[in-house]
Chains A and B, each alone.
Chain A
Amino acid sequence: MSDIIQATNIHRSFGKGDLVTHVLRGIDITVASGDFVAIMGKSGAGKSTLMYQLSVLDTPTDGELLVDDTDVLGLSERDRTAFRLNTLGYVFQDYALVPDLNARENIMVPLLMAGRTWESATATADTALNAVGLSSKHDSLPSQLSGGEQQRVAIARAIAGEPKILFADEPTANLDSISGQQVIDLIGKLHNEQGLTVVMVTHEEEYTKYCNRIIEMEDGTIVSEKKR
């Protein structure tokens, strides 16, 4: 399998002068296409910060980063936005749906931005909602859905555009254990059936059952890696 993410000597620090905080200290990591990688660690270990760098949401202070063979650090902000749209999918901790749009429209927005027609975007959104088990909730607003259902809409939005990599930032953090398990099963199913590359930040070992690599972080460095 080729490496879809190649990160070399990634540093990320915040603040200036004496108040600089080094959150990432020279991370080297590669992710092969089709991997399901879990990034784990205690609070403050730098796992979310690492995910933000790999997912092109943030810019490292130093280092090199190739994602899908693209030097993303050399892209303009507009190109980075377009790159995220066309290549990456995101699932955030607290679902991050647009409250004014119903479930279908939440999924349609990035599809329309990618140039799909209204009809095509509608059909794809409906298919994605059916795939995550929300066939009867197409017209529901986020406020009318449970936390687990909202997270499934977020997953449907993330996968509808057929991204090459899905980034999930503690996707179960705000869910009860049953909903959390359903969400992990859904992501695992997508990984297994579609060969989707997944990078997931999580606190909990029980949600790593689908992962083939588990990276443990501490104080901004990778301290161990398990492969299954």
Chain B
Amino acid sequence: MHNIRSLRIGLLLGLRQVQRASKWTTLLIIFVMMFTFLNLIAVSGILVGLIEGVERAVRENVSGDIILSAKSGEDHILETEAVIRQLQSYPEIEHYAPRYISNAVIEANYEERRDIGGERDIAAVTVRGIDPILEDEMTHLGDLVAEGEYLDPNEDGQILIGVYYLKEYAEQFGDIFDTVENVKPGSRVRLDAGDISKEFTVKGIIESKVDEINFAVYIPEREFRRVFNRLDRNADQIVIRTTTPELDSPTKEALVASGLSTYAKIQTYDEGKPKFVTDIKNTFNLLGTFIGSIGIVVASITIFIIIFINALSRRRHIGILKGIGIERRAIEIAYVLQAAFYALVGSLIGAVLTYGVLVPHFDKHPIQFPFSDGILAADPETTFWKFIVLFIVTLIAGFLPAWLIVRQNTLNSILGRNK
């Protein structure tokens, strides 16, 4: 009963203190709390967003939501054409693209090289045989053409080259990549795959922030099958885009249940992604939280000082309240309530800014990191728990100074005596 009375009086005192406090001071404290909240969410959000940007790009431009690959012990996906026919019957599968993958060597200067014993301008490359239409629908590969044009499905003898195989692009990374020189759209290159060689005209240069895309050359699948003698039509990879990303697991389950796992290994994007990506993400999150925690410490000290000065300047009134019979707890609640108000309003404004402005803004205009389009990753659940931490720390920072002042001798407080 006493607790309820103390709570009621604490609420009244706290509410009136907030109402009658200087508006500028209140605004300033709320600003501090808002920036603390943003610091806590945004710093780790941008660090994690940097990795999520990479993941998003990989999912968008490379792997899709579900990946079918060769089963262990097999070289390729078995019965690929039958598998594809089955995929076409699933309404939750929006797009798919089969890929044929192998290694070869491209040679750039074979036409100009007069001396047969002269140095060959060659690079070992990964070759991807694709259906230009399906691949573009699936991964928007056509949008990544930096120079020249995308593959025309009706043309033969065309090739797209990833920038990391071109000296002019790759030299910014130092002399670490195997590259060819002076290759532009329209240049002729020769693809050597074992005993078979075929000349191609460079149709376009592919450039992406995803290394896997830059480290490949792309030719139509029918030419791939000819060059690499893959007449069985069995693909190395089929990537699938579901109508919504959340359908990845249910669709995978359905594919497995239908027996497709007999022909291929079926993984969702999350299952297939390397563990180090998750590790890096967690590490960045931890790092961001650590940096954000410094903000919490600063905010808690700010709140402590504000409440302490507030309580100290009202020490006499606190003494009088105790003198006329108001319980200590009621007075402490009043100050804790003030701190709670600052934390709640500051965090609320911070949350509105985060989800109403910052997240949509960075989604539309990602931060241009060299290897990623950085977004602001602000998972609502993580945000909620960070808010809870901020809130509790603020309450403690509000309670401590009030407790220190309220516990002083009543008469000393009334008379303004120190002892």
Contacts and interface: CB of A to CB of B under 8 A. Distances in A.
B330 A113 contact: yes
Given A57-B414, A100-B19, A113-B330, A81 B325 contact: yes
Which residue, of B13, B324, B410, B411, has the highest number of chain A Cβ atoms within 10 A?
B324
Interface stretch (B82-90, B226-234, B249-257, B315-323): B315-323
A75 interface: no
A186 interface: no
Nearest to A80: B410
A67 to B, nearest CB: 14
A14 B9 CA distance: 34
Given A99-B317, A100-B16, A109 B9 contact: yes
B17 interface: yes
Contacts of A73: none
Given A84-B324, A113-B325, A100 B17 contact: yes
Interface residues of B, number: 26
Contact of A113 (B9, B16, B411): B9
A109 B12 contact: yes
The DSSP consensus for interface residues of chain B is: helix
Interface in B310-352: 316-317, 320-328, 330
A110 B9 CA distance: 9
Interface stretch (A3-11, A29-37, A39-47, A90-98): A90-98
Given A81-B327, A82-B325, A85-B324, A112 B5 contact: yes
Contacts, number: 74
Nearest to A14: B419
B357 interface: no
Nearest to B15: A100
Given A57-B414, A92-B414, A100-B16, A110 B317 contact: no
B411 A109 contact: no
Given A81-B322, A81-B325, A99-B317, A112 B9 contact: yes
A96 B410 CA distance: 13
B364 interface: no
Nearest to A116: B5
A58 B13 CA distance: 25
Contacts of B322: 81
A52 B13 contact: no
B114 interface: no
Contacts of B1: 115
Nearest to B322: A81
A109 B16 CA distance: 12
B23 interface: no
Contact of A58 (B9, B316, B321, B411): B411
Contacts of B8: 112
A210 B371 CA distance: 90
B275 interface: no
Interface string A173-214: 000000000000000000000000000000000000000000
B135 to A, nearest CB: 69
A109 to B, nearest CB: 6
A145 interface: no
A227 to B, nearest CB: 30
A94 B123 CA distance: 92
A81 to B, nearest CB: 6
Contacts of B326: 81, 85, 109-110, 113
Contacts of A158: 324
Contact of B410 (A57, A89, A99, A101): A57
A114 interface: yes
A104 to B, nearest CB: 12
Residue with the greatest number of chain B CB neighbours at <10 A, chosen from A78, A98, A105: A98
A157 interface: yes
Contact of A98 (B5, B13, B325, B328): B13
Interface in B1-31: 1, 5-6, 8-9, 12-13, 16-17, 19-20
Given A57-B411, A84-B323, A96-B320, 7 more contacts: A81-B328, A85-B325, A96-B323, A96-B414, A98-B13, A99-B317, A113-B326
19 contacts: A57-B414, A81-B327, A81-B328, A82-B325, A84-B325, A85-B325, A89-B324, A92-B414, A98-B16, A98-B320, A99-B317, A100-B13, A100-B19, A109-B9, A112-B8, A112-B12, A113-B5, A113-B9, A113-B330
Interface of B: 1, 5-6, 8-9, 12-13, 16-17, 19-20, 316-317, 320-328, 330, 410-411, 414
Top 6 A-B pairs, shortest CB-CB distance: A85-B325, A100-B16, A96-B320, A100-B20, A84-B325, A58-B411
